[in-house]
Amino acid sequence: MNVGNLVTLSCGGGKMDFVVGDLIEFGWIYSTCSLNNKTALYLGECFIHRPDGVIIENHKVLVIGEHSSTIIDKGLLRHMKKKNKVFS
């Protein structure tokens, strides 16, 4: 659900709120995944609207040190957590 810039993600029975611009961490996903243990900037939802009317929910992140954003499937949401704030 998206309200303004707040995105509430439901994953694994729990809910987590992300705001565009949040610093996030990925945990261990699978052995050859390039997102394993990476830190990224959450850029928001990114939907695909297919011609048959089906809407695919994706999300966009910018991995720290990368030059372009990455679109992730909603299945990866359970591997994301907010990183503790470094700056006040």
Dump the DSSP string for 34-53.
TTTT-EEEEEEE--EE-TTS
What pLDDT score was predicted for residue 84?
Answer: 72
- What's the mean pLDDT in 27-53? 95
Tens-place pLDDT, residues 8-35 = 655 555 566 888 999 999 999 999 999 9
What pLDDT score was predicted for residue 18?
Answer: 84
What pLDDT score was predicted for residue 31?
Answer: 94
Distance from C-alpha of 5 to C-alpha of 44, rounded to nearest angstrom: 8
Q: Is the pLDDT of residue 88 over 80?
A: no
- Whether 45 and 7 have beta carbons less than 8 Å apart is answered as yes
Q: Is the pLDDT of residue 58 over 60?
A: yes
| % of the chain beyond a pLDDT of 90 | 72
**pTM of this prediction?**
0.77
